[in-house]
C-alpha cells in the first residue's frame, strides 16, 4: 500500500528551512542578519496595526518570517534542465526570463517559485537561477577549458536522481522519501572547500570574468545568498554597519517613496578558504542580501517604471565607489515623484495588481447584487497590492556583479536569447504578468 504523499508546499517549506539552517552554519553573518530583520519586522507591525490586520486578512502575515530567496549559478544546460525537475517536486516553476548580459554579466536566468496565492502564502521560497554562457568568454583557451571542466562535472547525487525519478513516476513522495530528497537537494547547494581547478586557471578565469570563475571553478552551485524579506529596508540599511556588515552604498530599486516592485541591499559576507588541487587559496562571492517587496506592477506600470528609471540614469549613474550616492538617491526620488505611489491612485490608473478581500463588516451582508466600487466605498470589501514575487533584471545584475567582482566590468556582451534559454530549460518560462492577473481575478471571484 502506497504511503500518503507529502504536498509540494510542505516539501518546499522544509527545503527552505534546511537551506536556511545550512547557510547560517556556513555564513555566520547570515544569522546576525536574520536576527536584525526579525526584530525590525516585528517593530514595523507593532507600529502599523492596519498593515498587520490587512496581512492577516489576506493570509500574508505568517509568510513574512518564512520568506527567503536563494540564488544559484549553473554551468551547463543539463544542470538547468535537471534543477527544473528538482524544483518541480517542490511546486516551483520557472517564471520570467532575465537577460543579465544587459548589465555585462555573462548569464541568463529565471526564477523558480510557486505560482498561486495559496502556495505563496504557505511558502514563498524562490530561487533565482542563472545559466552561464561560456561562449561569452572571449579567450578561446579559457572558453574551451571551461567547457571541458563543466562537461565532466556532476552536481547531483545518485540518491537525489533516484528519488526524482521516483517522484515523477509515482506522482509524489511520502514523508520518508521527502526527508531524504530534501537532504540530498540541500547538499547540491552546499559549499565545497575543494575547488575543481588549479589556482592558476581560477586566477586567469577570474581576471577574464569573476562571475564565470565562481561557476566553473567549483564542484557545485553553492548558494550565493539566501535573502530574508524586511518591511523596512532603509532602517536595515542604516543599521547594518553597527553589526559589522559592509553594506552597499545605495539601496537598489525604486525610491523609498514608491512602494512598488523590489528594493534590495547587500553586503559581502565571507571570504572563504579554498583548496586548489591541494594548494590553499581564497574566494569571495557569497554574501548577505536583504529585500523589501511591494506592489506588483501591470505592464502599464512597468512601462512607467522603466521610463522613469531610464530618465534617472540619463542624468546620473551611481558610481561604483559610492561617491555620488547621496546625489543619486536625491535624483531618484525627484524623478519618481511622477509615479503615483498611493495604492488607491495606482489602482485607479491600472498600474498595479490588487488582491480583494471581504472585511469583517461583510459577514452578514449579501454582496452578489452590488458592484465592486460600491462594496469598497461602504467598507465591505478592501484591497491590498499583490506582492511582487519576482526580480528586476538591472537590480539582480547589480547585486550579482557587486558581490562577485572586485572592480567594475566594462565588457559588452551580445544579448541573450530567451529561446536558447528555454531550450536548455526544456520548457517555456511563465509570464509573471499573467500570474498576477490570475491572482487578482481569483480574489475577485472569492468576493461574489
Query: Please, are residues 294 and 310 in contact by the beta-carbon 8 Å criterion?
Result: no
Spatial CB neighbours of 139, under 8 Å, sequence gap ≥ 6: 208
Q: How many angstroms separate the Cα of 341 from the Cα of each of 261, 385, 448?
A: 11, 11, 29
The reported pTM is 0.89
How far, in Å, are 131, 181, 190, 259, 391 from residue 72 at the CA level?
9, 19, 11, 27, 14
Contact present, 72 and 415 (Cβ < 8 Å): no
- pLDDT for position 406: 45
Neighbouring CB atoms inside 10 A of 249's CB total 18
Distance (Å, whole) CA 332 – CA 305:
11
Where exactly does CATH 3.10.180.80 map onto the chain? 8-296+390-431
Cβ neighbors of 332 (< 8 A, separation 6 or more) are 254, 255, 312
C-alpha 75/C-alpha 137 separation (Å) is 13
Q: Looking at residue 61, what is its pLDDT?
A: 78
Q: What is the pLDDT of residue 15?
A: 96
Which H, E and C letters describe the chain, residue by residue?
A: CCCCECCHHHHHHHHHHHHHHHHHHHCHHHHHHHHHHHHHHHHHHHHCHHHHHHHHHCCCCCHHHHCEEEEEEECCHHHHHHHHHHHHHCCCEEEEEEEHHHHCCCEEEEEEECCCHHHHHHCCCEEEEEEECHHHCCCHHHHHHHHHHHHHCCCCCHHHHHHHHHHHHHCCCEHHHHHHHHHHHHHHCCCCCECCCCHHHHHHHHHHCHHHHHHHCCCCCCCCEEEEECCCHHHHHHHHHHHCCCECCCCECCCCCCCECEEEEEEECCEEEEEECCEEEEEECCEEEEEEECECECHHHHHHHHHHHHHHHHHCCCCCCCCCHHHHHHHHHHHHHHCCCCHHHHHHHCCECEEEEECHHHCCCCCCCCCHHHHHHCCCEEEEECECCCCCHHHHHHHHHHHHCCCCCCCCCCCCCHHHHHHHHCCCCECHHHHHHHHHHHHHHCCC
Contact yes or no for 181/156 (Cβ under 8 A): no
Q: What is the pLDDT of residue 393?
A: 65
Report the pLDDT value the prediction gives residue 208, as an integer from 0 to 100: 92
Burial of 371 (0-12, 13-18, 19+ CB in 10 A): exposed
How far apart (Å, rounded) are the C-alpha atoms in residues 181 and 179? Answer: 5
CA-nearest of 113, 84, 152, 108 to 426 is: 84
Q: Which residues contact 315 (CB under 8 A, 6 or more apart)?
A: 331, 335
- Rounded Cα distance between 309 and 253, Å, is 9
Q: What is the pLDDT along the chain (448 residues), one digit of tens a residue?
A: 457 999 999 999 999 999 999 988 888 888 888 888 889 999 999 999 988 888 887 777 777 877 888 999 999 999 999 999 999 999 999 999 998 887 788 899 999 999 998 899 888 999 999 999 999 898 999 999 999 999 999 999 999 999 999 999 999 999 999 999 999 999 999 988 888 999 999 999 999 998 899 999 999 998 888 888 999 999 999 888 888 888 888 888 899 999 999 999 888 766 788 888 878 888 876 778 899 999 999 999 999 999 999 899 899 887 877 788 889 999 999 999 999 989 999 999 999 999 999 888 777 666 766 789 988 998 889 999 999 999 986 655 555 454 444 444 444 455 558 999 999 999 999 999 999 999 999 999 988 7
Written as nine digits, the cell of 219 is: 564542484
Q: d(Cα 274, Cα 216) in Å, to the nearest integer? A: 14
For the chain, how long is the longest CA-to-CA vector? Answer: 75
Backbone angles phi, psi at 293, to 5 degrees: -105, 135
Q: Which residue has the cell 527545503?
A: 15
Q: Which of 148, 330, 177 is nearest to 255 (CA)?
A: 330
C-alpha cell belonging to residue 221: 552551485
Which residue has cell 504557505? 122
Best CA proximity match to 155, nearest among 198, 178, 185:
185
**For the domain 8-296+390-431, what is the CATH superfamily, name and number?**
Uncharacterised protein PF07063, DUF1338 (3.10.180.80)
Q: Are residues 79 and 155 in contact, defined by beta-carbon separation less than 8 angstroms?
A: yes
Amino acid at each position: 500500500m502506497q504511503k500518503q504523499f507529502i504536498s509540494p508546499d510542505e516539501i518546499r517549506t522544509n527545503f527552505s528551512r534546511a537551506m536556511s539552517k545550512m547557510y547560517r552554519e556556513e555564513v555566520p553573518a547570515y544569522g546576525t542578519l536574520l536576527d536584525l530583520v526579525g526584530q525590525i519586522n516585528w517593530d514595523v507591525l507593532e507600529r502599523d496595526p492596519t498593515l498587520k490586520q490587512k496581512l492577516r486578512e489576506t493570509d500574508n502575515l505568517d509568510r513574512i518570517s518564512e520568506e527567503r530567496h536563494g540564488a544559484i549559478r549553473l554551468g551547463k544546460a543539463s544542470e538547468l534542465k535537471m534543477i527544473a525537475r528538482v524544483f518541480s517536486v517542490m511546486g516551483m516553476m520557472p517564471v520570467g526570463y532575465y537577460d543579465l548580459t544587459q548589465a555585462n554579466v555573462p548569464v541568463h536566468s529565471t526564477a523558480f517559485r510557486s505560482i498561486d496565492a495559496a502556495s505563496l502564502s504557505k511558502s514563498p521560497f524562490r530561487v533565482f537561477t542563472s545559466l552561464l554562457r561560456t561562449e561569452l568568454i572571449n579567450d578561446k583557451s579559457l572558453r574551451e577549458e571551461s567547457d571541458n571542466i563543466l562537461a565532466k562535472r556532476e552536481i547531483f547525487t545518485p540518491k537525489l536522481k533516484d528519488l526524482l525519478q521516483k517522484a515523477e513516476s509515482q506522482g509524489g513522495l511520502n514523508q520518508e522519501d521527502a526527508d531524504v530528497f530534501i537532504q540530498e537537494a540541500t547538499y547540491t547547494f552546499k559549499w565545497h572547500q575543494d575547488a575543481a581547478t588549479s589556482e592558476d586557471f581560477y586566477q586567469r578565469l577570474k581576471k577574464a570574468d569573476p562571475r564565470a570563475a565562481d561557476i566553473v571553478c567549483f564542484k557545485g552551485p553553492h548558494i550565493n545568498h539566501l535573502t530574508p524579506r524586511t518591511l523596512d529596508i532603509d532602517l536595515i540599511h542604516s543599521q547594518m554597519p553597527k553589526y559589522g556588515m559592509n553594506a552597499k552604498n545605495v539601496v537598489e530599486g525604486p525610491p523609498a517613496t514608491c512602494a512598488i516592485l523590489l528594493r534590495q541591499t547587500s553586503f559581502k559576507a565571507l571570504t572563504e578558504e579554498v583548496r586548489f588541487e591541494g594548494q590553499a587559496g581564497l574566494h569571495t562571492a557569497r554574501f548577505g542580501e536583504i529585500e523589501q517587496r511591494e506592489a506588483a506592477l501591470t505592464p502599464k506600470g512597468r512601462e512607467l517604471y522603466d521610463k522613469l528609471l531610464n530618465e534617472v540614469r540619463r542624468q546620473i549613474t551611481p558610481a561604483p565607489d559610492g561617491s555620488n550616492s547621496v546625489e543619486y538617491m536625491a535624483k531618484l526620488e525627484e524623478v519618481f515623484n511622477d509615479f503615483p505611489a498611493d495604492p488607491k491612485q495606482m489602482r485607479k490608473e491600472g498600474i498595479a495588481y490588487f488582491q480583494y478581500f471581504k472585511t469583517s463588516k461583510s459577514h452578514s451582508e449579501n454582496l452578489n447584487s452590488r458592484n465592486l466600487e460600491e462594496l469598497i466605498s461602504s467598507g465591505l470589501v478592501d484591497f491590498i497590492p499583490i506582492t511582487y514575487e519576482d526580480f528586476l533584471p538591472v537590480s539582480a545584475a547589480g547585486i550579482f556583479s557587486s558581490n562577485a567582482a572586485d572592480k567594475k566590468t566594462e565588457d559588452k556582451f551580445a544579448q541573450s536569447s530567451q529561446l536558447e534559454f528555454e531550450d536548455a530549460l526544456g520548457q517555456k518560462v511563465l509570464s509573471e504578468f499573467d500570474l498576477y492577473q490570475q491572482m487578482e481575478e481569483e480574489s475577485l471571484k472569492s468576493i461574489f
